[in-house]
Amino acid sequence: MTTIDYSVWDHIEVSDDEDDTHPNIDTPSLFRWRHQARVERMEAFQRKGDELEKVLAESKKKLTEAQKKVKELEGASTDEGKAELAKAQAEEKAARKEERAAERKLDEYRSEEKKQPWNVDTLSRDGFSKSVVNVKPESKDETEEEKEEKHKTFVEKYEKQIKHFGMLRRWDDSQKYLSDNPHLVCEETANYLVIMCIDLEVEEKHALMEQVAHQTIVMQFILELAKSLKVDPRGCFRQFFTKIKTADQQYQDAFNDELESFKERVRGRAKIRIEKAMKEYEEEERQKRIGPGGLDPVEVYETLPQEMQKCFDEKDIQMLQEAISKMDPTEAKYHMKRCIDSGLWVPNSRTDGDEDDKEGEKDEEPKYEEVKRETAEEEK
């Protein structure tokens, strides 16, 4: 059986006129002054909380930048690089300390906020303008296989909805769609949107990539907010949209900076993927060209002397034999063997039917009747 805790009702400032007043004092005016003073105290307290959240956001951003710098400098071999790495590590340590201090101050503020007595202003406030489900995310560590299977199952079920969210543009549309589909507020959606961005950039759909990137950062900001508040992300996404739509310039700049940084990372990942695909394609084509001796005809052609390359270009066997006759025998034999092993040339020894003639010619240079230049010319 669930027990209701009624202690939250112990300290409620319900009325402005609960105290006795002097008969010579204008009571309505006194009530207005008291009310105004309380409202100003509440606003000042709220501003303090907003400022602490900004400080925490800035410290997180600073720590992220410091960690990124350390990662870039890892593996430095020069003395200058090692010095830069040590400096970056010191900055990371300081940033982490600053973040912890900011989190501690914000926790103290929230603890103090819970102790604030209720009054006519807070009691009459719309309690459903935002929902915060005070449930901590599961701390159970998942294996990589479990994460992959969870992501795969989620995407198979909600891929169409995730793509729809990725195409939205207006804050209000995004908030409404997540209100109708709160199951989308999770890591799996953010991960799929990241992959979607990279795919679009590879396909050179740059404008569409930037749109989906915006929605990706929206989801990531919601997840970060939930992490800082230690609540379920589904319970605080409305709070994010309230903040972003009414945010000051500093908060908006933080969002835009993260968005631009993310788009640059997407472009970098897309470039790497394209380069990898090109290398794989080139290797496949190279394997198709490999000759009987395991050599690539294109690579062999590029290492031939200019005179021999000209023979290939002209497809003139007589010219080739003349060029070979003018070369050092060892060098000529080396190049011709590579041509044979690559399939660039197909040798055919003379067969006259005379065994004696064959025996006498076995030490002679082989004759060549076919030039395989198609592949090399296409690559050239």
pTM over 0.85: no
User: Which residue from 188, 181, 182 is spatially nearest to 150, judged by alpha carbons?
Assistant: 188
The whole-number pLDDT of residue 368 equals 44
Which has the minimum average pLDDT: 8-22, 262-276, 332-346? Answer: 8-22
| pLDDT, tens digit (0-9, with 9 covering 90-100), for 85-107 | 888 888 888 888 888 888 888 88
* Per-residue confidence (pLDDT) for residue 220, from 0 to 100: 92
Q: Are 251 and 243 in contact (CB under 8 A)?
A: yes
Contacts of 240-244 spanning 24+ positions with Cβ under 8 A: 241/171, 241/172, 241/174, 241/175, 242/129, 242/130, 244/171
The average confidence (pLDDT) of the chain is: 76
pLDDT at 371: 44
| pLDDT tens by residue, 62-73 | 888 888 887 887
Q: Which alpha helices (DSSP H) does the chain contain, by range?
A: 27-73, 79-114, 120-123, 144-166, 171-180, 187-202, 206-229, 237-245, 249-289, 297-303, 306-314, 317-325, 329-342, 355-361, 374-379
Q: Tens digits of per-residue pLDDT, 120-144?
A: 444 444 443 444 444 444 555 667 7
pLDDT at 163 over 90: yes
User: Phi and psi of 115, rounded to 5°?
Assistant: -85, -5
pLDDT the model gives residue 65: 86
Q: 109 Cβ partners below 8 Å, 6+ apart?
A: 48, 49, 52
Looking at residue 348, what is its pLDDT?
65
Q: What are phi and psi of 291, to 5 degrees?
A: -85, 180
Query: pLDDT band at 177, cuts 50/70/90?
Result: very high
Mean pLDDT over residues 15-38, rounded?
A: 53
